Amino acid sequence: MDLNDAFYFVQVVEKGGFSAAARSLNIPKSRLSRRVRQLEDDLGVRLLQRTSRVVTTTEVGEEYYRHAQEALARFETAETAVRRKTNTIEGTVTVSCSVGMAQFGLDQILPRFLQDNPGVTVVQRASNQMEDLIKGGIDVAIRGHMDTLPDSSLIQVKLARVEWHLFCSPEYRGAIEQSDDPAVLADHPALVLGRPRERHQWLLTDYGGQTASLPGRVRLASDDMSTLKNAAAVSLGIAALPSYVCRQDVEAGSLVRILPSWTAGRPQISLLMPSRRGLLPAFEAFLSFLKQELPAALGCDAPTATPRRGR
């Protein structure tokens, strides 16, 4: 059963003949003749009676026409629905990111995107675990990573490099020796992201490229950056966190950066998405919005690299 044959049949009926239908569809009438005959053979019944001048539907043909016509109208609807979504900026975009990115990165820019694109719904899935994009129906993930990501089948787009710094409360800093030498801060109480290892230590780099390691006593380990930040603000110890997470607290004076010539890492922020083909305008709008706005929101004014094709 070839569904296209039904379409051809309906066209012949509606245009009142093979030649008329062929002209209207811009296809040779030999095709119509063959396909309609094929349909009749498949159904085992004659749908049209023809002379060289007149074509009329048989009783069964009439009935088949009615149903097939409705079916085709449905397909029309299906296609129109898709075309509308592909021509207007509307639909749902699902974005996955870490809780920290949600709270201190997207938080600042998402409202603007939603105001600019009233037809778009954004579903944010904030999680500190990396999810399977395809299983989870996620359109794009925003992820930070130190070294190059494993070469999965996902598309990767580099957005920005952010810096991690060491932070503590002004009071805490007042109680310790002022120095730019990491060694003097060894074995201070550490507020650590993620699960801690036996011997915790931060790996530091200075702007000349020199590296140093700073061991600490883990007092609090959490997946949540906000929790660590607050712990540091109440002088529980030292935390290494992305600069954008602590910016407001630094400006407000509740946190201070220590060892300011050292960074605790410069992870790459990248977008991950399943495919680049056949994207909705809504999604493309979201993508270009992220590329343009997120680096600034994270405090790095320019993307550091050009997109790269994965796979």
Given the structure tokens 């043909």, which residue do they identify?
61
Q: How far is CA 229 from CA 170, 206, 248, in A?
A: 13, 23, 11
Residue 311, interface with its own copies (CB under 8 A)?
Answer: no
What is the pattern of x (binds its own copies, CB under 8 A) and - over residues 83-102?
x-xx----xx----------
CB of 270 to DNA, least distance (A): 16
Residue 35, interface with DNA (CB under 7 A)?
Answer: yes
Of 152, 179, 210, 248, the residue at the interface with DNA (CB under 7 A) is 152
CB of 102 to its own copies, least distance (A): 21
Residue 46, interface with DNA (CB under 7 A)?
Answer: no
Q: Give the start-end residues of each E strand in 99-210.
A: 120-126, 140-145, 155-161, 164-168, 188-193, 201-206
- Binding partner of residue 72 among DNA, its own copies, none, CB cut-off 5 to 8 Å per kind: its own copies
Residue 91, CA atoms < 13 Å, CB-side half-sphere? 20
**Cα separation, 180 vs 210, whole angstroms:** 13
User: What backbone phi and psi angles, to 5 degrees, belong to 306?
Assistant: -90, 155
Of 44, 52, 277, 309, the residue at the interface with DNA (CB under 7 A) is 52
> Which residues neighbour 129 within 8 Å (Cβ) at sequence distance 6 or greater?
none
Helix, strand, coil proportions of the chain in percent (round to 5)?
Answer: 40, 25, 35
What is the pattern of x (binds DNA, CB under 7 A) and - over residues 76-115?
----------------------------------------
**Cα separation, 129 vs 96, whole angstroms:** 10
Please count the residues of this chain forming the interface with DNA, following the rule CB under 7 A: 26
Tokens of 279: 């994207």
Q: How far is CA 76 from CA 35, 43, 182, 281, in A?
A: 21, 24, 68, 21
3-state secondary structure of 263: strand
What is the pattern of x (binds its own copies, CB under 8 A) and - over residues 8-47?
--------------------------------xx-xxxxx
Residue 64, interface with its own copies (CB under 8 A)?
Answer: yes
Residue 302, interface with DNA (CB under 7 A)?
Answer: no
- Binding partner of residue 278 among its own copies, DNA, none, CB cut-off 5 to 8 Å per kind: its own copies
Of 35 and 161, CB closest to DNA: 35
Tokens of 123: 């579903």
Residue 311, interface with DNA (CB under 7 A)?
Answer: yes
Residues that bind DNA (CB under 7 A): 4, 17-20, 27-37, 50-55, 132, 152-153, 311
Residues that bind its own copies (CB under 8 A): 1-4, 6-7, 40-41, 43-47, 49-52, 54, 56, 58-60, 63-64, 66-68, 70-75, 77-79, 81-83, 85-86, 91-92, 132-135, 137, 153, 274-275, 277-280
